[in-house]
Structure 1
Amino acid sequence: MKVVIIGGVAGGASAAARLRRLDESAEIVMVERTGYVSYANCGLPYYVGGVIADRAELTLQTPERFRERFNIDVRVGSEVTAINREAKTVSVREAETGRIYEEPYDKLILAPGAAPVVPVAASLDSPRVFTLRTVEDALALRAFVTEKTPRRAVVVGGGFIGIEAAENLVEMGVETTLVQRPAQLLKPLDADMAAFVHAEMRAHGVRLVLGGSLEAVDEEACGLVVRLGDGEALPADLVVLAIGVAPEAHLAAEAGLALGQRGSIAADASMRTSDPDIFAVGDAVEVTHGVTGKKALVALAGPANKQGRIAADVICGLNSRYGGSWGSSVIKVFDLTVASTGLNEAAARAQGYDCDTVILSPGSHAGYYPGARPLTMKVVFERDTLRLLGAQIVGAEGTDKRIDVLACAMQLGADGVRLKDLDLAYAPPYSSAKDPVNMA
């Protein structure tokens, strides 16, 4: 059996390693258009800010190690340009030589990921305009900041990457403005919880322009000028575009595979596409939302890793299924930790749920033990059944632990009554005796 994998990083690399563990005789070829096949993309902003000092720390597996450890043929700097389903081949172009060749497959896994959204208003071919998706993007931005010592930056987009980029630029001494079209940062949060994030960023010197729409990025003699819809002009030495991502599904579309919402790749619970010999995993794939049961796009590394392993299992004859994505996430925002899972209140109401919320303020640990800091928790539940629909937490240490407890409870079907009966560990340095997810 020969399996060709298009794309590495989370989904593709996980699929490759799992395939080898299940089948020692399979021929596995992984084609990755960048120079890095398996890297910590969530760590890229922290390399820009110097928190991760050694670029080698970003690389989880090198092509050489994949070959030596797993006997996998990894071809970086190569891009698949077409899929021929009838002949069961893919067309591959080598970036360095320009050579194009056909690679046959028995099974094909698509793991192309999602591409940064670059609006026409910002499609300026300037070395001062950056996105932050690949290792090469992070290297370029880090080099610019350290070598050119820019004074002012504008980050466009208030999601995970935008916030992390803004934080790390500030830590590098760059005066930073963050422009966000919606009136709040972090879409997974409700407005009342996002307010804590706004205050934290402003306290650390980030200027927020909420409700600001990008009209143009112009290059002038003095540098860049970011022009907004209300007429405001923001001078900048560099611009980071973090507006969002879109599924990179053009290969699937051109090959005639069924597509899902926003042009994503449609796949079933076994990660199989409309072609039984082609699988798809990661950010380009439409999944089932764990709360609503409806189709959704969830661009996170955790689901991509799981999907890669499931595709490998199914190819090797195992009955693995992907149970859906709940969107559990956590992000560092200067001195805060911000986490969420499931639906926020606004999303739950938009989906038609008759829901209610409870807002709680436990300490990070017992108040009588030194160093306790407040947490703010918002739990969304269905009014009649007390079914958990989602949760958001903003605070200090312990935020990640509590969101994980709530995520597990929600995914296992616990309602509010069962939640209070959970038997969890407690000690004064770690938990609050009055913690609603750690009743002691």
Structure 2
Amino acid sequence: MKVIVIGGSTAGMTAVSKLKRILKDEIEIIAYQKLKYPSLGSCGIPYYVGKHFDNPESMIARTAAQFQDNQIFVKTACEITKADFKAKTIYGINLETKQEFTDTYDKLIISVGAIPRQLNLPGETATNVFTGTTLEAAIALRDSLKTIQNVTIIGGGFIGLEFCESFGLAGKNVTLIEADKWVSRKLIDEEIAQLLVADLEKKGIKIKTNAKVAEFIVINNKVTKIKLLSGEEISTDLVLVGIGVTPNTAFLKTTDLKMNEFGAILVNDQFETNIKDVYAVGDCVMTKNIIDNRLNYISLATVAAKNGKVLGNILAGKKDSFPGAIGTAIIQVFNSEIARTGYTKEQAVNNGFNVKEVIITGTDHTNYVADAKPVTIKVIYDQNAKIIVGAQIFGYNKASLRINALIPLIWTKTKINEIEYLDLPYSPPFSKSVDVLNVVLAKINEE
């Protein structure tokens, strides 16, 4: 059996690595990767720019040579431009030699990931405008720290927030522009966002919400000012655009492959598409949210890796399926931490849940042990089904890891009247004898 992977990112390479471990010499695997390297852990880029580590190559989980040692052949700098599913043939171009090529498959895995959304403004291709998603961009961003002072980040999602720290630690003047009412609105509710923004402003980060970019002012192919719709102009030496991502599937839109209006591929729990012998995984597919079985677009490395493991098992003939996800994510910006899972309140209401919420602020451990810090927990639950449908935590000192106690309660749809006395650990340096999370769960049952 010959398996071709389009894309060299987490999901697809995890799938074929798993497949190869099981079937060994019984299978031929070729991956075509547009970049010059596979398996980049791009989540590490803000931390490389922020000088948490010094070797950018360490973000590459496995090189093409390492894959080849396991008889997985990765052809880098090769862009697939077209697929003929009836003929089981793909068409592409080698970006270095400019030579066109074709190849045929028995099974095809589409793992093309996602690409940054664009503002579609003149000047967006200026030399000092970055999206920060490639190894080359990471190196250029870190090198730029030597010569720049004013940085503008457009987009207040988790990536944009992480870059606030990257440039803030380097002593740069950072302005974050967010078009929405509050930062990371798709991930957290306003109360939690305000706690983070307050901390960022104390660090000198300027946050502008409800602010939309109208124009880039460019001199000598560099953006020197950003003009907002309000008329305000912001001087800048570097622009980081992080307004989200979109599935990298434009080259497939003329095929019969079923996708939604945003280009995300529709798959079942076996990662089968509507086309025989064609599978899709990772950031280019829709994911079932197990809370209510709705299809969500969840672009997370953790989900992509699980996609790959399941598909590898399935292609090897093992019984497996992907249950879905609930969008769990966590972030640290300077000393502030946010963890979230499930739906925000706004999303839960829009999805038809009969929503109530509880927000409690306590301390992360006993007051008589040094460095006790506040921790705020928000839980969103459905009054009809009596289940938790979302949770968010803001805190310090790894207090956000309390989300790990809430995830399985959401995952298993445990009834709220069963969880008030959840047996959480206690020791003065870690928590109180009645942890703030226990207080939240008790409050739910009082409502």
What interval of TM-score do these two structures reach, taking the shorter chain for normalisation? over 0.9
CA 1:438 to 1:19, structure 2 compared with 1: closer, same or farther past 3 Å? farther
2:194 counterpart residue number = 195
2:313 counterpart residue number = 313
1:151 counterpart residue number = 149
1:55 counterpart residue number = 56
Poorly superposed stretches of 4+, deviation over 3 Å: 436-439
User: d(CA) in 1 for partners of 2:429 and 2:392?
Assistant: 23
Note the C-alpha offset of 1:291: 1.8
Note the C-alpha offset of 1:35: 1.6
Pair 1:242-2:239 in alignment? no
- Give matches, 1:35-434, under 5 Å: 35-68=36-69, 70-121=70-121, 123-146=123-146, 149-187=147-185, 188-220=187-219, 224-434=224-434
CA 1:107 to 1:219, structure 2 compared with 1: closer, same or farther past 3 Å? same
User: d(CA) in 1 for partners of 2:223 and 2:398?
Assistant: 43
CA contact (8 A) 1:10 1:282 kept: yes
CA displacement 1:97-140 (0-9 Å, x = unmatched): 01111111111111111111112225533111111112222122
CA displacement 1:185-213 (0-9 Å, x = unmatched): 11211111110011011111111111001
CA 1:252 to 1:433, structure 2 compared with 1: closer, same or farther past 3 Å? farther
TM (norm. structure 2) is 0.94
CA contact (8 A) 1:362 1:432 kept: no
CA contact (8 A) 2:213 2:226 kept: yes
CA contact (8 A) 2:377 2:437 kept: no
User: d(CA) in 1 for partners of 2:122 and 2:366?
Assistant: 49
CA contact (8 A) 2:328 2:340 kept: yes
Q: What's the C-alpha RMSD, in Å, of the aligned pairs? A: 1.7
Amino acid at match of 1:193: I
User: Identity of counterpart residues, as a percentage?
Assistant: 29
TM (norm. structure 1) is 0.95
> Matched residue of 2:215: which SS?
strand
Identify the range of structure 1 (367-376 vs 216-225) with the bigger mean alpha-carbon deviation. Answer: 216-225
Note the C-alpha offset of 1:412: 1.6
- Which runs of 5 or more structure 1 residues have no equivalent in the other structure? none
User: d(CA) in 2 for partners of 1:30 and 1:365?
Assistant: 49
Note the C-alpha offset of 1:313: 1.6
> Matched residue of 2:101: which SS?
strand
CA contact (8 A) 2:424 2:435 kept: no
CA contact (8 A) 2:123 2:218 kept: no
Identify the range of structure 1 (366-375 vs 9-18) with the bigger mean alpha-carbon deviation. Answer: 366-375
CA 1:386 to 1:27, structure 2 compared with 1: closer, same or farther past 3 Å? same
CA contact (8 A) 1:339 1:399 kept: no
User: d(CA) in 1 for partners of 2:226 and 2:291?
Assistant: 39
> Matched residue of 1:219: which SS?
strand
Note the C-alpha offset of 1:321: 1.3
User: d(CA) in 2 for partners of 1:288 and 1:385?
Assistant: 19
CA contact (8 A) 1:272 1:311 kept: no
User: d(CA) in 2 for partners of 1:74 and 1:84?
Assistant: 21
User: d(CA) in 2 for partners of 1:398 and 1:383?
Assistant: 30
> Matched residue of 1:432: which SS?
coil
Note the C-alpha offset of 1:306: 0.8
User: d(CA) in 2 for partners of 1:19 and 1:249?
Assistant: 24
CA contact (8 A) 2:270 2:314 kept: yes
Note the C-alpha offset of 1:344: 1.3
- Which runs of 5 or more structure 2 residues have no equivalent in the other structure? 440-447
Amino acid at match of 2:29: I
Identify the range of structure 1 (311-320 vs 370-379) with the bigger mean alpha-carbon deviation. Answer: 311-320
> Matched residue of 1:379: which SS?
strand
2:444 counterpart residue number = none
- Give matches, 1:8-19, under 5 Å: 8-19=8-19
CA contact (8 A) 2:49 2:166 kept: yes
User: d(CA) in 2 for partners of 1:343 and 1:356?
Assistant: 12
CA displacement 1:204-249 (0-9 Å, x = unmatched): 1111111001111121269521111111111111111101111111
